[in-house]
Amino acid sequence: MPQVANHARFNSIHEPLPVDEDGFITDPHLWSETFACLVTAQDGRGTLGEEHMAVVYYLREHFLSCGALPPVQQLCHAQGMPKTHVKQLFGTCRAAWRTAGLPNPGPEALAYMS
């Protein structure tokens, strides 16, 4: 996992989530598993399990090392799951991206993620 800079991490339900107007984290280094759970709860998606977290950590690692969203097919192949499974887990790719604590990818990518 990448080194974390000296940023304060979000870790309390009493703090506002550090997100932009579209609900994406403002600084990926503020992410924590607590943040992921709160985003999931706010979205009404229940709780996160092992498969969810495997996807979340894959997305984070790929983005933080490559600076880009991996194709869903690549993500699913790496996780050994059918292509439709990410949508079953998260509802949308956008929800998976938000849960992973990754920044707003911009309007073009958002249209693809819905």
pTM of the model: 0.82
pLDDT band at 88 (very low <50, low <70, confident <90, very high): very high
| Distant-in-sequence, close-in-space partners of 104: CB < 8 Å, separation ≥ 6 | 20, 22, 24, 110
Domains of the chain: 28-113 (1.10.10.370)
Other residues' Cβ atoms within 10 Å of the Cβ of residue 90: 22
DSSP string, 81-113: --TTHHHHHHSSHHHHHHHTT-----HHHHHHH
CA distance 47 to 52: 9
Give per-residue pLDDT as tens, 32-42: 999 999 999 88
